Structure 1
């Protein structure tokens, strides 16, 4: 069985298209019967039903349905039972064939249909056939073909523009990810080369210092100076390499890295902007490793920022201290729709990278009731980060 071909846009609006087809089929029945008044026969009713069925199924096999309708029209002309409304059906089917056929050949359809009708009419009644009405038939069939081809070209243009935009966006995102990965690899290689070299120097001098302490204590001080100099060099090299990741307009920080002890200031700042955050804590708060403390603060900060941007103006912050881990949950209700407020996804990516750096994990997604939840689990033990 031949596969039914439909344009992609029609696949997305199949139910809506069927409603239009039903209305158009009903209009065809009315036209066929109306144009035959005052004499309506059984044949006329049959032709009206045929016209309605042809309109309903015309998209499944446009060219075959058009050929079948043309054959029926020729048969009615030969048997002198022609219905004028059937020629209107031929115009509709010519439009469909031009717009929805897998191959683009609208004028071939129009020429074949009009040519078959004209030849048949000329053979059956040449004297009465050629009249002003034939210009209307010509305009109807060729106009349907032209309109169908125009609709086809417009859909093809829109589809092409949409596809190019999608591919450009995908290419831009892939290029951005590739550049990020290349930069990370470059920094990792440079850090490895620099740190490995100077750590090796420190190790050698530390071994020499051990021997000096046992045999020649007065010679240990130059060795310690070498160790100190190598360590300072490592720190300077790391600073120079990591500095490429900083914003050139960013000023050097004059305060320590933030932690959960600064959550109060963060929540106060959000409150002044009209964003309400209800904070809950469970378990016994305890000092956290520096990396975990910083990651926890940044995750809460990013999650609340997203909740403020996409939510309804409030959020719940839940901190749970357990044996060996800290669980963070930020829950808020979403506002739909969000015109012009689509997120880039970099916020969630940043939270996951923060958690991974502290050997934790972050999960985020919608929850029942129209809300959104960000959940992070971070280790609290110093030994888990070594």
Structure 2
């Protein structure tokens, strides 16, 4: 049985791949059915139908051949084939004696038209075909107009039109389902690509913040250690200890960030939660140890922040203070404020500009340009610090403003909503 099923499937697929061969085979089958039907007498001898009691004439045979041959072109010109088969059917009703079932070819042609056109066309063409063929059978047939053969012509043409319309509707329904499935698949792929791009950008911002902050501290402390190594070894040792702590923190945060890129089958690595304002004091201590005095004012201790907002606030403070340490000068001081105002959190970082010092040169491009006395507007032209902060704030629906302060220094202020765009962690 499975072998027979496979053979039927292969035969069906082959016929679908060659529609002209299928139509030729169908025309041959219809011709055979019409020839056999022409030898049958539906009335018989009174006891039932008989076979072989009548024989079709040469004209009837010719009309059956013409009607069947026209079906070979039914896919390419369905309406023309219907007109041809309808004409030979009417001709058989007018001249045939005994009548041959040429109407069978017209039934197949009408089914083809109904399955390949719209419903209004099916109604118009179907009603016209039913009317013409039934009227020809009633008025020109050898039997009385009320016989079953004449009613059969009406019934068979009507069923052909209805069956063709049903097949067309089902085909359109299946095509619509397939098109919706393909569109949904394309939408899922586009959404997946968009999410991948957003995640790649978020990881890039995290890596930039981690590297810019910790490497800047390492650079400063290493410079201090090299400067006082001979005269004050104790201070050099303290600076090297800060270098070690900053490098360890950088490695830990890099490990946590890269751990997000691991696949499910990769071995697990210990990771820490994403930093937030809960560890803001530890962040400020790293800058104080690097020689940057930082004052803190905050009124958000009892506020539960969404994870995205918490991380964004932490990274903004980290990036802003890193820029202060690198560009504001050796005597600069900074102020950080984290305030809850209504349903927003305002994060502000200010510095007084200080005096120019031996900070990183123009080749350092890990931080954003800082206009002002100690940081010309063209400093670090390839920096991404301010751009990264703006992208972080925009991603959660906040606002960021930056610029020089009157009298010197720089200001960074971010207004962050307490509810993310996705409704994460709604704050009462």
TM class, shorter-length: 0.5 to 0.7
Q: TM (normalized to structure 1)? A: 0.55
> Is 2:198 the partner of 1:196?
no
Give yes or no for contact 1:107–1:142 (8 Å, CA) kept in 2. no
Match of 1:230 in 2: 246
> Is 2:191 the partner of 1:175?
yes
In 2, the alpha carbon distance for the partners of 1:252 and 1:34 equals 78
Query: How big is the shift at 1:12?
Result: 8.6
Give yes or no for contact 2:85–2:103 (8 Å, CA) kept in 1. no
Per mean C-alpha deviation after superposition, the further-off stretch among 150-159 and 238-247 is: 238-247
> Is 2:215 the partner of 1:213?
no
* 1:125 to 1:136, Cα distance in 2 relative to 1, 3 A: closer
> Is 2:59 the partner of 1:43?
yes
**Which of residues 86, 94, 101 is equivalent to 1:85?**
101
Structure 2, unmatched stretches of 5+, are 1-11, 40-53, 271-428
In 1, the alpha carbon distance for the partners of 2:204 and 2:97 equals 86
In 1, the alpha carbon distance for the partners of 2:265 and 2:214 equals 31
Match of 1:23 in 2: 25
Give yes or no for contact 1:76–1:82 (8 Å, CA) kept in 2. no
* 1:80 to 1:122, Cα distance in 2 relative to 1, 3 A: same
* 1:249 to 1:11, Cα distance in 2 relative to 1, 3 A: closer
Larger Cα-atom Rg: 2
Aligned partner of residue 84 in structure 1, secondary structure: coil
In 1, the alpha carbon distance for the partners of 2:247 and 2:26 equals 84
Match of 1:107 in 2: 123
Query: How big is the shift at 1:133?
Result: 2.0
Give yes or no for contact 2:134–2:151 (8 Å, CA) kept in 1. no
Q: TM (normalized to structure 2)? A: 0.50
In 2, the alpha carbon distance for the partners of 1:238 and 1:82 equals 95
Alignment of 1:122-201 (within 5 A): 124=140, 128-201=144-217
Q: State the Cα deviation string for residues 43-75 of structure 1 (Å, max 9, x = none).
A: 223212212222211111212211222133234
* 1:156 to 1:11, Cα distance in 2 relative to 1, 3 A: farther
In 2, the alpha carbon distance for the partners of 1:72 and 1:225 equals 105
In 2, the alpha carbon distance for the partners of 1:92 and 1:249 equals 60
Query: How big is the shift at 1:86?
Result: 1.2
The alignment of Structure 1 onto Structure 2 pairs a total of residues equal to 245
Give yes or no for contact 2:134–2:153 (8 Å, CA) kept in 1. no
Structure 1, unmatched stretches of 5+, are 1-9, 255-386
Alignment of 1:71-82 (within 5 A): 71-79=87-95
What's the Cα RMSD here? 3.4
Q: State the Cα deviation string for residues 330-350 of structure 1 (Å, max 9, x = none).
A: xxxxxxxxxxxxxxxxxxxxx
